[in-house]
Amino acid sequence: MSTRRLSPILAVIVCLLLAGDAVAGPVAGTVRIQGKLTAGVTVQIAYGDAKVQKTVTDKKGAFRLNVPKTGSFDLVIFFKKKPYDTSVQVRSSTVKYDLDLARSRSGKLRLVKR
């Protein structure tokens, strides 16, 4: 088989292998601590073999993370050095999550999606 015939076949094989992981859109949103938009909160998302993307909320409590693939992930915020997490779905378009670290009836802080 000639090299010229292999090139299109190789291109098709590469495309099929890459099609398994869809390209994801960013995850964006806001973080509130007990109802108040909060700047300076670390937000991270873990995927694959513990690869992490992280950022810090801006002065309006907003964040944006670029995630390389679609799927279900854990989104974690850190408040006073303690992690609080929730599960998020990443799609091929931008996904928005507005989060609030609020007190439950028992008085413990927990991360909820608004």
Name the more confident of 68 and 40: 40
Tokens for 72? 């279900």
Which helix (DSSP H) or strand (DSSP E) does residue 8 occupy? Answer: helix 3-18
Res 12 pLDDT > 80: no
Q: pTM for the whole thing?
A: 0.76
Q: For residues 49-60, give the mean pLDDT.
A: 89
Helix (H, G, I), strand (E, B) or coil at 70: coil
Task: For residue 75, give the H/E element and its range.
Answer: strand 71-79
**Domain 23-113 listed as CATH 2.40.50.1070:** no
Domain boundaries along the sequence of the chain: 23-113
In 3-state terms, what secondary structure has residue 60? coil
Beta strands in 14-70 (DSSP E): 27-33, 36-37, 42-47, 51-56, 62-65
